[in-house]
Structure 1
Amino acid sequence: MPFKVTAGRAWGMTGLVIFLYVVNYADKAVLGIIAQPLAREFGLTSSQIGLVGSLFFVTFTVGGFLAGPLEKKLTLKWALLALGLTWSVVMLPLVVTGGFVVLVVCRMLLGLGEGPSSALMHTAAYSWHPPAKRGLPGAFLAGSASVAKIALAPVLTFITVQYGWRMAIVALSVLGLVWMVCWIPGFKEGPFTSKAVKGADTAVGSAPTEPSVSWRKIFFTRTFASCAFMIIVVYALTTVVLTWLPSYFELGLGYSALQAGSMFALPSIVGLVLMISSGTVTDRLRGRGYTSRVVRIIVPAIGVLICGAVLVFLPSIGTPALAVAVVSIGYGFGAIAFPLINAAISELCPPQQTAGTMGVFLALMAVGGLVAPYGTGLIVDSAATAAEGYATSFQIIGVLGAIAAVLVLVFANPERDRKIIRGEVLAKSA
């Protein structure tokens, strides 16, 4: 049936997707919260915990390539429902039968289920917003990770300290079921996708129909390639934070387990403020005629440069509170890359190829997670002190982030590459 697009309805649907993203990131973040209780109970080393974190991103990367096929076979509503159900149950065997092998298997299954979700969630949210206005909804989606850590990390930490790590996993399963109850009757796909309802009476119009282009044409643009490298590095930082930050605060800086879990939210608070601010400002600038290169390439690249410059000095800082501040500021400025770069990448392709394009981009992004958690564990195990090991890992990521940001500033230009891709579309139409 035809349906109208209003700001209230568009943001209501986006809110349901954001709720799912919060659940998604809480499932990722719980390993960092329960890492030390798991290590104590099962006798795990830092490198083993890091290996679990990295193996999650192996299957996460594989799953990312399934976003396009899933979007073709199922509607966004039912595809995301199936994925959400998967997240809610795959960690439960660990509650019943603990151990390193079960932990690895459960986290790898979780990664496979979460792999396609980011691209599909972005596609679901973008289906309610035209390309020029995707910066802010993208910021809210990326900010969902921060919301999960701000709102849920202290709760999960309290549950872990008071009732054990098993109850933290059970609590996340219950949260997933609550989301399903809201999602099934509530979500409908918007008009800005290839599956838009025909004849929809919208207030702002529906997405134009374009011929598909070769995937190679999209993936080998300088914008896609350089942005993929930068987002890999920024995601490496994110996965180190997810896997190791509470352990760094506890073992490296001397805070209690409850303090460390609660402070897990601090970098996310900085990141959320900067992401929402940058998303709002850049959407307004885009509406005033500023190019996508300015608002969705230069702005996030400068943020990553600041992130890198701050993290480089972490090993030389001896004051725990200042170290927490440095990590929080570095993470916050790096995090603005996620919504803005994702929005830039979504502009490169015809609407019907958004899910496939974002799936590959986000799967490549996950490469950072394949290396960083395990690499950090190895560095910590071989360092003189835990504090030195964690700080060195953050420093390495900072250097790589600064290099990646410079490459993006030099090579990325969505308008130029969109014209190149559109040239192929016009050639096919001729």
Structure 2
Amino acid sequence: MFKSQRWYIVALFFLAGLVNYLDRAALSIAAPLIQQDLHFTHAQLGVVFSSFFVGYAIFNFVGGVLSDRFGAKRVFGAAMAIWSIFCGATALATGIASLIVLRVLFGMGEGPFSSSNSKMVNNWFPKREVASAIGVISSGTPLGGALAGPVVGYLAVRFGWRWAFVGIMLLGLLWLVAWVTTTTDEPRDHPRISRSELELIESGQQQRDTSTAGAIDEESAPLTHFLRKPLVLATACAFFAYNYVLFFFLSWFPTYLTEAHHLSLRDMSIATVIPWLLGSVGLASGGFISDAILKVTGRPLLSRRIVLGVCLGASALCVALAGGVQSTSGAVALMSVSIFFLYVTGSVYWAVIQDTVPRRHVGGVGGFVHFLANLAGVIGPAVTGFIVQAAHGSYASAFVLAGGIAVAGAVCSIVGIREPRPAGVRVGRAW
């Protein structure tokens, strides 16, 4: 499978996702040391966590539009360079103001990650492989989160938390060399692609373009037409719920383990590996599960809706219970199962966009959905910080809130992600 050029690009994106979450999770792993060194309160730390998502959410949309206009290769390469540099620059922070500015700029660099890789997949894959490709790509992100614990924990303890950020910056810049020298935006421009692979890709894309036809000529419709569609907005709402739970875990779970369960930085770094590893399995398998259901039902949106409804609901139950257990092993186990089910849905949001949007708008619509979804990152970590501070260090209410939002996302996906009615048809009346 990975001998083909399209799966080579997936492998590169997988590694990029690993670096992406290694960079992103570094702050939460080092947070106890940073909080002590820079004298942050819980509320201030929550604001620092959220500041990343201000730049990130805005450039989800900007990056998607730029990918449609200038090509995903160029946009993604620039994004990797920017986020790597500002990850390393985190070492220069001297207080809350400088750290917030650096995190916003870091977030701007990471913003185009998902929308530009979705655009690249749209260019390189036939419809029947889209969710599987996105699932494999996305599975690199929790693996990066898993590595962040031991890698950042070791570097922070051995050399200080500042050098940990410099070290992981170098990995991103090394990856960038491979990306620039071995990829192209379009399969037909790649010097090493085989004729059979190119024919497979182009025939699969013709089928996908035909399947996106709707009540109007959507191939010529403006971007704003798709941004207003109820199906797109429902996908964004479900994605918001996914991100709320994910960023609650990413930002606060390490600190929760050190404060509520009194783990050392070393033990906390090891404990956080387990949920990330299960999440990686969930992401890798989620796209294949959704595509397998598609083969049985022949209905793309039904297959996506089944996965979203079941798995978001299961994740909600586990995260709501995780904050109420007394044992460390119980909290880690419940959070691990929650992250597994959550990540099974990770590729499905993008698959819905691929199923319903013409190729020329995939980047813009994907970026818009990702922007709305990542408002959860702006809101969630800060809200959690204020909840914990108001509750005198208790995290129980924050876990329950995360579970409630996941339930709302499951309901939204079941109700709103449905096949459009044929043109000229209204419920109860034929035109």
TM over 0.5: yes
Helix, strand or coil for the counterpart of 1:213?
coil
Aligned counterpart for 1:409 among listed residues 396, 405, 414: 414
Aligned counterpart for 2:290 among listed residues 261, 282, 286: 282
Aligned-partner residue type, residue 183 of structure 2: F
2-side partners of 1:346 and 1:278: how far apart? Answer: 16
- Do the aligned partners of residues 212 and 154 (structure 1) sit closer, same or farther apart at CA in structure 2, a change above 3 Å counting? farther
2-side partners of 1:6 and 1:12: how far apart? Answer: 6
The aligned counterpart of 1:250 is 258
Deviation for aligned residue 1:191? 4.1
Aligned partners of 1:16 and 1:187 also within 8 Å: no
- Residue 50 in structure 1 maps to residue 50 in structure 2: no
- Residue 400 in structure 1 maps to residue 408 in structure 2: no
Deviation for aligned residue 1:404? 2.1
Aligned counterpart for 1:85 among listed residues 73, 81, 85: 81
Unaligned runs of 5+ in 2: 210-217, 425-431
The aligned counterpart of 1:123 is 119
Deviation for aligned residue 1:350? 0.7
2-side partners of 1:337 and 1:322: how far apart? Answer: 24
- Residue 179 in structure 1 maps to residue 175 in structure 2: yes
1:69-218 correspondence to structure 2 within 5 Å: 69-191=65-187, 201=195, 202-206=198-202, 207-208=205-206, 211-218=219-226
1-side partners of 2:297 and 2:158: how far apart? Answer: 54
The aligned counterpart of 1:337 is 345
364-373 or 68-77, larger mean C-alpha shift: 68-77
- Residue 358 in structure 1 maps to residue 366 in structure 2: yes
Deviation for aligned residue 1:41? 0.5
TM-score of the superposed pair, with normalisation by structure 1: 0.89
2-side partners of 1:94 and 1:245: how far apart? Answer: 21
Aligned-partner residue type, residue 376 of structure 2: G
**Pairwise CA RMSD of aligned residues?**
2.4
Helix, strand or coil for the counterpart of 2:10?
helix
1:413-428 correspondence to structure 2 within 5 Å: 413=418, 415-416=419-420
TM-score of the superposed pair, with normalisation by structure 2: 0.88
Aligned partners of 1:122 and 1:141 also within 8 Å: no
Aligned partners of 2:73 and 2:184 also within 8 Å: yes
1:44-101, Cα deviation, whole Å (9 max, x unpaired): 0111111011111111111122124422453322221111111121233442352221
1-side partners of 2:52 and 2:376: how far apart? Answer: 12
- Number of aligned pairs? 409
- Residue 17 in structure 1 maps to residue 13 in structure 2: yes
Identity of aligned residues (%): 23
- Do the aligned partners of residues 326 and 179 (structure 1) sit closer, same or farther apart at CA in structure 2, a change above 3 Å counting? same
2-side partners of 1:315 and 1:14: how far apart? Answer: 36
Aligned-partner residue type, residue 290 of structure 1: G
Helix, strand or coil for the counterpart of 1:134?
helix
- Do the aligned partners of residues 65 and 293 (structure 1) sit closer, same or farther apart at CA in structure 2, a change above 3 Å counting? closer
1:274-301, Cα deviation, whole Å (9 max, x unpaired): 2222322322332345311232111122
The aligned counterpart of 1:424 is none
Aligned partners of 1:286 and 1:295 also within 8 Å: yes
Aligned partners of 1:85 and 1:176 also within 8 Å: yes
Helix, strand or coil for the counterpart of 2:262?
coil
Aligned counterpart for 1:33 among listed residues 29, 34, 50: 29
